[in-house]
Amino acid sequence: MATKKSKITKESIVSMFMNYTLEHNEKPKSVYNFAKSNDFTEAEFYTFFGNLESIDKVIYDMFFERTMELLQKDANYETYDMKSKLLSFYFTFFELLTANRSYVLMSLHQNKNQLKNLAQLSSLRTNFKLFIAEITTDEILIDQEKLQELQEKAIQESAWIQFLLTLKFWIEDGSAAFEKTDIYIEKSVKLSFDLINIAPINSLIDFGKFIFKEKTQKN
């Protein structure tokens, strides 16, 4: 008796795309070959994606969406302050990245031009900045409305830069269970909030010592 064909979904195509990329050490060359090798049709593919390149961005969007789903399952999450929400996001997101580390490393190093690699994160950048906007509390904002708008944009942009630096650290982290990335997250987030509150010296020194130690150990 013939086995019933599984229904093709957006998630199943993403999973097959990631598996294909890892198994062949390269991304599929065409939708036709990709679909044929995974026993589904081109028409089924185009129901969810316009081309193969669009899958890259969707993968990082799905990491973000899954992170938010997991955070919302925590009954206490909504009671957290901004700093705790950001830390929770980081730890959850990077746990998902670690579970898919082989693919993430391959996808972020596929081009010699780093700007092309980062283009995969453009949609994630938008979602992340919206997340920062949502968790930003009035207590850290300036009272004047025009200055508030500038401050909010500055907070979102600096948070994204911090995220990219954390991603870079995680990529280069060779510690067991990526425990140094956890330390990096804690210290960098603490520093960023101290800077917002204009009380940076101790955290700046602490974070600087950690980075200096990492650099000297690698050299």
pLDDT in tens, 58-94: 999 999 999 999 999 999 999 999 999 999 999 999 9
Across the chain, mean pLDDT equals: 88
The tens digit of pLDDT for each residue in 150-178 reads 778 888 999 999 999 999 999 999 999 99
pLDDT band at 126 (very low <50, low <70, confident <90, very high): very high
Distance CA 14, CA 61 (A): 11
Looking at residue 3, its pLDDT comes to 52
pLDDT of residue 202: 57
What number of helices (H) and strands (E) belong to the chain?
11, 0
Provide the 10 A C-beta neighbour count for residue 47: 12
CA distance 169 to 131: 22
Asked if residue 162 lies in contact with residue 86, where contact means CB atoms within 8 angstroms, the answer is: no
In this predicted structure, the answer to whether residue 216 has a pLDDT above a threshold of 70 is yes
